[in-house]
Amino acid sequence: MMLRLGEVPTMVVSSRDAAREVMRLHDTAFATRPLSATMRVLINGGRNIALAPYGDYWRQIRKIAVTELLTEGGLQFPLDMDAIKVLIFLTQLPKKVHCTQDIFGAGSETSSTTLGWAIAELIRNPKAMHKATAEVRHALASDGAVSEAALGELHYLNLGNIPAAPTGAASSATRVPGIVPAVTQVLVNVWALGHDERYWPDHPPDEFQPERFNNGEAAAADFRGTNFELLPFGAGRRMCPGLAFGLANVELPLASLLFHFDWEVPGLANPADLDMTETFGITVRRKSDLLLCPILRMAVPQPID
């Protein structure tokens, strides 16, 4: 679909084949993200890893992020450091604030939104909540707490996914499959792809059914940029480099919330009546805040002084 947002020509991609053209076959032409004058002021000239123009500078900061910050070792913070060592560690962080904002932004908006939707869907579907909670407590019963090493045993908990939308801009006239004029803003509607019945024939895509990923066509869907009907981390050259970081930011808190607590909605007799109205922003968020009452079931480990 072609439209014009003010003076900006915009193409919205809502099919799997068109998404593959944009993000795989012609990803070099669409690798630069659109950046308005306002955004340049707000994000230090567009020099962060998410919005920096495609080129040598972007390749350099992405390489640093992937090799130094987002590796398995880089994500394991040394929890045994004392207060003095922590202060020394903080003073050695890069002085450019936008370097750390990339990580904090990725870990807050997208991850917290996904976590909120996951809890809301589980509350609204008691059978799914029972399965997920039982799996977590059975797998972690001997440990008494959630650990990253145990996440691999939580099959049912990891079946769902709620993606955010990547964007791009054509640097030259490109055929996708028609002619896309240069400097056209391209929006890949990953929400539409994830809710298209053509790609999810076994179960209605609007229903929360984690079991869909156990068998059928959905079981073969890979969220790492291979299957273009499911793009929580994007695809191609501008695919999110923090895939492992993002997964950990959702899986660890979700497993902890289910392991230690039962959850209820105050004043709501029927969980199916929970308001699930959406509102859009950087990600698709809940319109209203999710207010829940936690009931402690497993003791929460206390920090060591």
User: CA-to-CA distance for 116 and 278, rounded, in angstroms?
Assistant: 12
Please give the annotated binding residues, written as ranges: 240
The residue with tokens 């793009």 is: 231
User: CA-to-CA distance for 303 and 210, rounded, in angstroms?
Assistant: 34
Tokens coding 35: 């950046």
User: CA-to-CA distance for 88 and 19, rounded, in angstroms?
Assistant: 46
Please give the annotated binding residues for heme, written as ranges: 240
User: 253, 272, 265, 271: which is closest to 294 by C-alpha?
Assistant: 265
- Residue 49 amino acid letter: I
User: CA-to-CA distance for 129 and 100, rounded, in angstroms?
Assistant: 35
Tokens coding 79: 């929890």
**Beta bridge pairs of residue 11:** 2, 186
Q: Name residues whose C-beta falls within 8 Å of residue 131's C-beta, 6 or more positions apart in sequence.
A: 156
Q: CA 43 from chain center: how many Å?
A: 21
Centre a 10 Å sphere on the Cβ of residue 99 and count the other Cβ atoms it contains. 18
Provide the b/e sequence for 41-77 (b: ≥16 CB within 10 Å). Answer: eebeebbbbbbbebeeebeebbeebeeebbeeeeeee
User: 250, 243, 254: which is closest to 71 by C-alpha?
Assistant: 243
Tokens coding 87: 């202060």
